[in-house]
Every structure is written in C-alpha cells, then in structure tokens.
Amino acid sequence: MHIIDGKATSIAIQNELKIAVDDRIKQGLKRPHLAAIIVGENPASRAYVGHKIKACEYAGFESTLVELPQETSDEALKAEVTKLNNNSSIDGFIVQLPLPDHIDAQAILECVEPTKDVDGFHPVNAGKLSLGLPCFAPATPSGIVELLKRYGIETEGKHAVILGRSAIVGTPMTLLLSRNANPGNCTVTMCHSRTQNLADITRSADILIAAIGKAHFVTPDMIKPGAVIIDVGINRIEDASRKSGSRLTGDVAMHLIDDQWGGHITPVPGGVGPMTIAMLLKNTLEAAGK
C-alpha cells in the first residue's frame, strides 16, 4: 500500500508560496491577504478556519478573521461580505460553510465578488470552471489534482469514479478530471445516493474519489487491485481509546485494506484536508497578483 502524504505535500506547497511571497515583498508588493467569515460556534468549522489562519502565518500571508454570532441575520452577513468586497487590502475571502440553517447560504455566496472568491463557490467561477475558462477552482478538488500530479499518477484514459455530487467536491472534481489537461483526460463516472450497482462501478475505478461523508463506506471488496483511492471524508466516530472519546476517520475503511494491497491511498487525517488549505492559499496569491 502506498500512502499519498497530503500533509507533507501541503507543507511543500506552503514553502513554495512563502518563497513567492518573499519575492513579492522584494518587488515592493504587498503580502497576499486572506479573510474568512465564520458564523456561529460549530467546533469543526472553527478548527478548519483556525488551520487556514495558521497556514497564512506560515506562508507569510496576512489574514483577517471575521467572527459573527450564531444568530446573525442574512442582512448582517451580507453587509460583512460587502465590506470585504469593498476592502482593497483584502485579496480574497471565504465564508466558512456550513452556515446556520436560518441563513440562505447560496444567496450569501452569490454576494461574494467573483474576483475575490478564492473558494470558487460563486456561480461565475463555477460556470467558468464548467466551460474550461480560467477561474478560481474549489480548493478540495484542486488539491486532489495537485496530489495526483505530484505523485506522478497517470490519469489519461483512466476511469475515475467519484462518489458524491456536491458543489464543493463531487461536481468540480468531475469537471477537473474530465478536462483535456494533465492531470485530466479521465473517463469520469459520478455516483450518488441513487446510483445502482455501486460496487460494480467502484470496482472498475482506476481512481476512486470518496466524498460522501459516511465513515468507512468504501470497503475492500469495492476496490480494484492497484487503484488510487482518494478519501475526502472527514467523519467523527466514537473511539473509547482516545481521551476525547472520538476521532476523525474517512469514507474509506482503510483499516480493512490489506497492507500488501498494491494501490495508492490518502489517509484521514493527513491526506486531502491539508491540501485544501494549501490550494486556498494558492488561489489567494493568484488573487493578489491580479
């Protein structure tokens, strides 16, 4: 079993970004500046945003965190988005998802100025991605493409099977892997909750991307020998052996896969998650260059 080390790759990218930032400073340009809006107290979201801010510090980016209470109204949140849209010192920003249920998340994302939309969630960026035009692509699928590239994984003509059709991962992943590029040129099958004979499809995958949010959903009988397995899941499960009583695990039952299995796999944690952060910073540096 070959481990695809997302954490090490993320640090390598952050080191490259640091050099690019130093270069900008030498040229008399400003540091790239990323802002994040977080609404409420969701502990997982707080942790993710904290990691993003820390990565900014590491790579020499400026960062701003806008923390709003759970009961924030749509109007108040839109006003914060507008402030960031109009703040010329900020190159890019994100609104951390999920938002509280009373907020219309799609309406909020549509208020983000597309040139500052480093998450790539605005319909203008999503539309451009679908047309193969230059745009900000969402960080998680971009990070997966980067991992495939840096690990020298051949994708041309391969069958990529994507589990999940979300706007954040499944849909943009389908677009990125099917485009005429390297990595890319895959034949892509997108599967979802209504897909029939799922295991027959996953067993034919040269590249299997699991982004469904169900712990250990993908079992060894669903995997082709020698496949590349990308696990996007971040699921919290009970674990009495941990002080906290729980731990994070992926959508793939990696613990059931034989050590002698010849394929590649991303671990959870330490696989796709850290790459998302690196690619968000990469998008922000690009936004600063515009």
Q: Which is nearer to ligand GUN, 90 or 205 (CB)?
A: 90
Closest CA to 4 of 276, 280, 268: 268
Q: Which is nearer to ligand GUN, 49 or 227 (CB)?
A: 49
Q: Candidates 97, 124, 215, 257: give the one binding ligand GUN (CB under 6 A).
A: 97
What is the closest distance, in whole angstroms, from the C-beta atom of residue 96 to ligand GUN in the complex? 5
**CB-based contact 209:245 (threshold 8 Å):** no
What is the closest distance, in whole angstroms, from the C-beta atom of residue 140 to ligand GUN in the complex? 6
Q: Catalytic annotation on 106?
A: no
- CB count within 10 Å of CB 224 equals 17
Q: Which is nearer to ligand GUN, 5 or 119 (CB)?
A: 119
Q: Which is nearer to ligand GUN, 60 or 233 (CB)?
A: 233
Options 5, 91, 96, 116, the catalytic residue:
96
Q: Catalytic annotation on 196?
A: no
Ramachandran angles phi, psi of 273, nearest 5°: -50, -55
Q: Catalytic annotation on 101?
A: no
Sign of CA dihedral 129, 252, 152, 13: positive
Amino acid at 8: A
Q: Which is nearer to ligand GUN, 39 or 95 (CB)?
A: 95
Amino acid at 12: A
Output the CA–CA distances (angstroms, integers) from residue 157 to 104, 161, 169, 175, 181, in the order listed. Answer: 40, 13, 21, 15, 11
266 in contact with ligand GUN (CB under 6 A): no
Q: Which is nearer to ligand GUN, 52 or 264 (CB)?
A: 52
Amino acid at 284: T
Q: Candidates 59, 84, 94, 252: give the one binding ligand GUN (CB under 6 A).
A: 94
- CB count within 10 Å of CB 28 equals 6
140 in contact with ligand GUN (CB under 6 A): yes
281 in contact with ligand GUN (CB under 6 A): no
275 in contact with ligand GUN (CB under 6 A): no
Options 5, 14, 52, 282, the catalytic residue:
52
What is the closest distance, in whole angstroms, from the C-beta atom of residue 139 to ligand GUN in the complex? 5
What is the closest distance, in whole angstroms, from the C-beta atom of residue 240 to ligand GUN in the complex? 28
Q: Candidates 276, 282, 283, 284: give the one binding ligand GUN (CB under 6 A).
A: 276
Taking residues 37 to 76 in sequence order and writing x for each that binds ligand GUN by CB under 6 A, - otherwise, the string is ----------------------------------------
| Catalytic machinery residues | 52, 96, 119
The residues that touch ligand GUN, with contacts defined as CB under 6 A, are: 94-97, 119, 139-140, 168, 276
